[in-house]
Amino acid sequence: MDFHTLVPGKQGLAAIDADALLVVVLGTKVPGSLDGPLGQALADAVAAGDFAFRAGQMLYAHRVPGVKARRVTFVWAVDAGARSLRKAVAMGVALVKGGGARHLAVAVAGGGSEVDGAGAEALVLAVHEATYVYRATKPSAPAASKLERVTLVCDREEKGAKARKAGAASAGATGAGALAAGLARGQAVAAGVALARELANRPGNHCTPTYLAEQARKLGKSHGLKVEVLDRKDCERLGMGSFLAVAQGSDQPPKFIVARWQGAGKDEAPIVLVGKGITFDTGGISIKPAAEMDEMKFDMGGAASVLGTLCAVAGARARANVVGIVPACENMPSGRAVKPGDVVKSLSGQTIEILNTDAEGRLILCDALSYAERFKPAAVVDIATLTGACVIALGHHRSGLFSTDDALAAELLAAGEAAFDPAWRMPLDEEYDEVLKSNFADMANVGPRAGGAITAAMFLKRFTSKLRWAHLDVAGTAWRSGPNKGATGRPVALLSQWVLSKVAGPAAAGAGKVRTRRRA
Ligand code: BES
Ligand code: MN
Ligand code: ZN
């Protein structure tokens, strides 16, 4: 999909050459800028009681006389901020996506606030979100939307051009230059979100550890990443006894994927992202109940978000160094599977008594966190669908954030708010560590049910003493259950926002040079 900005000519919105026009209406009366046929159509609808200036109001009109666009939608919004725009665009796109429109123009009228770079970015993400269709294993699914082109109508080209020249095309700036930068950034992030959704939606028999490794390699080719895949032998040599203990019950060979984006100088310390890549979690010998076990194909959502974020960051040509680490395997019961009570030795040298084989995420992450040390990272963030307890604690709106570093936690929380991909900080008091004591190893892999999301994080903390570290438990946010079952692509938006905001300024200009590539 192609996104761009347009400054309308003298005849205004009515003359815009698009298949569909979405007018985001602000304020409490027919906007003065909507003179001519569009204003008349809206005023007529208001008089007839079919449109009001309040939240949730939407009006569709076909072939308004004097308006070039065949389809016109009015959606009311409280302001032109990113949050409002995102909602309004989602509503408007939902209405035209199943139809014949190929070219959609979006304009804001009335109010007094104007769209900024963050708004433009939000618009792109909303359009992609609303038009995504999973088809990989469902050829009968409705064809993806016909939308090919989206135009963001704006005015004041000069101000934007000046802003861009001054290198100030940041998210908060307005004008065409800032909008174009926001659109480019949005496209890079949307591609990352789409990749994460696509990978996580694939069933376990398609999305195996080997498949994830292939996809990482493919992403590397298309986006200029260095990708290295360690196999079982490599991991044995390194001493990843904890990761391999989880992998040993499966016939699918484990893959330890390392993908690197080098957008900054060689000596700049990288950000390391570690993603849980359990391509299917049966629970192992501590097997899960049958109900909803299918959803455990999403247990590689953390891994998908790491690859998605690399896709976004590389797509935006960000001047940052980012390393993605994905330990990938299945958690299966079998004659070779690890058993409750087994003791394994992690890469860190610490031993672990595996009391519950269903607490496997932490077992693969701990070795990946130890591996991360070799990159001398500026910060390490792991992302995992780690605990059902986190879903109980926070539901499906906010991801759980755990960190031993207040500044890092604050950065990630702020990125989550800005990207509409919010998280909530959870505690890591030493007192919670007590329950991990074992008589037979340095630690047990589980505690009691109470505070399960925290004890899981406390387990990981034992492997991060040399790191600036944060952990995102996305068990409640990486996918939706029920009739709209499917991956959300979270927290790609949060992570991309975090990385891209660190390199704002020069990177925003670089983000304008996004190349369109095939999706991996
Ligand atoms: N992948 C699951 C976590 C999960 C469960 C995510 C349900 C989303 C929905 C994880 O591997 C797991 O099984 N965790 C156990 C830990 C327990 C055995 C301490 C859990 O949450 O029940
Ligand atoms: Mn499990
Ligand atoms: Zn799991």
Q: Does residue 155 lie within any of the structural domains?
A: yes
Together in a domain, 419 and 349: yes
Please provide residue 262's backbone torsions phi and psi, each rounded to the nearest 5 degrees.
-110, 85
pLDDT of the residue at 11 = 87
Q: List residues with catalytic annotation.
A: 288, 362
pLDDT of the residue at 144 = 77
Give residue 329 CA to ligand 3 midpoint distance, Å: 11
Q: C-alpha dihedral over 400, 404, 405, 408, to 10 degrees? A: -30
What span, in angstroms and rounded, lies between the C-alpha atoms of 183 and 3?
A: 7
Give the structural domain span for 64: 2-191
Contacts of 364 (CB under 8 A, 6+ apart): 242, 243, 246, 247, 276, 277, 278, 327, 329
Q: Which ligand is nearest to the CA of 278?
A: 3
pLDDT of the residue at 312 = 98
User: Do the Cβ atoms of 67 and 21 come closer than 8 Å?
Assistant: yes
Together in a domain, 357 and 391: yes
Together in a domain, 168 and 282: no
pLDDT of the residue at 171 = 57
Cα dist. 218→154, 210, 305, 327, 491 in Å?
37, 12, 16, 17, 22
Give residue 361 CA to ligand 2 midpoint distance, Å: 6
**To which residue do tokens 């934007």 refer?**
160
Together in a domain, 12 and 98: yes
Together in a domain, 162 and 291: no
Together in a domain, 384 and 457: yes
- Taking CA atoms only, the protein residue closest to ligand 1 atom 9 is 388
Together in a domain, 105 and 230: no
Q: Does residue 49 lie within any of the structural domains?
A: yes
pLDDT of the residue at 63 = 96
Together in a domain, 220 and 169: no
Contacts of 19 (CB under 8 A, 6+ apart): 69, 70, 71, 100, 101, 102, 103, 104
SS3 at position 377: coil
Together in a domain, 228 and 175: no
Residue of 128, 254, 240 whose CA lies nearest to 195: 128
Together in a domain, 456 and 378: yes
Q: Which two tokens stand for residue 197?
A: 């959704």
Give residue 94 CA to ligand 1 midpoint distance, Å: 34
SS3 at position 46: helix
Domain count, the chain: 2
Q: Does residue 338 lie within any of the structural domains?
A: yes
Q: C-alpha dihedral over 477, 479, 482, 484, to 10 degrees? A: 110
Residue of 80, 60, 78, 79 whose CA lies nearest to 70: 60
Ranges of residues in the chain with a pLDDT under 70 are 156-172, 504-520
pLDDT of the residue at 160 = 42
Q: Does residue 252 lie within any of the structural domains?
A: yes
pLDDT of the residue at 189 = 98
- Taking CA atoms only, the protein residue closest to ligand 1 atom 22 is 388
Together in a domain, 155 and 288: no
360 lines ligand 1 (CB under 6 A): yes
pLDDT of the residue at 157 = 55
Compute the chain's Rg from CA coordinates: 24
Give residue 337 CA to ligand 1 midpoint distance, Å: 18
Last residue of a domain, one of 191, 223, 249: 191
Last residue of a domain, one of 128, 157, 191: 191
User: Residue 462 is part of a domain; what is its CATH number?
Assistant: 3.40.630.10
452 lines ligand 1 (CB under 6 A): yes
Q: What is the pTM of this model?
A: 0.94
User: Residue 22 is part of a domain; what is its CATH number?
Assistant: 3.40.220.10
Q: Does residue 507 lie within any of the structural domains?
A: no
pLDDT of the residue at 162 = 43
- Taking CA atoms only, the protein residue closest to ligand 1 atom 3 is 387
Q: Which ligand is nearest to the CA of 329?
A: 3
pLDDT of the residue at 512 = 30
pLDDT of the residue at 516 = 38
Together in a domain, 362 and 425: yes
Tell me which long-range contacts 332-336 makes (C-beta under 8 A, separation of at least 24).
332/249, 332/250, 332/251, 332/280, 332/282, 332/284, 333/249, 333/282, 333/283, 333/284, 333/285, 333/287, 333/357, 334/249, 334/250, 334/251, 336/248, 336/249
Residue of 22, 34, 202 whose CA lies nearest to 105: 22
Number of Cβ within 10 Å of residue 395's Cβ equals 10
Q: Which atom of ligand 1 is the closest one to the Cα of 356?
A: 18
What span, in angstroms and rounded, lies between the C-alpha atoms of 102 and 99?
A: 9
pLDDT of the residue at 111 = 86
385 lines ligand 1 (CB under 6 A): yes
Q: Which ligand is nearest to the CA of 295?
A: 1
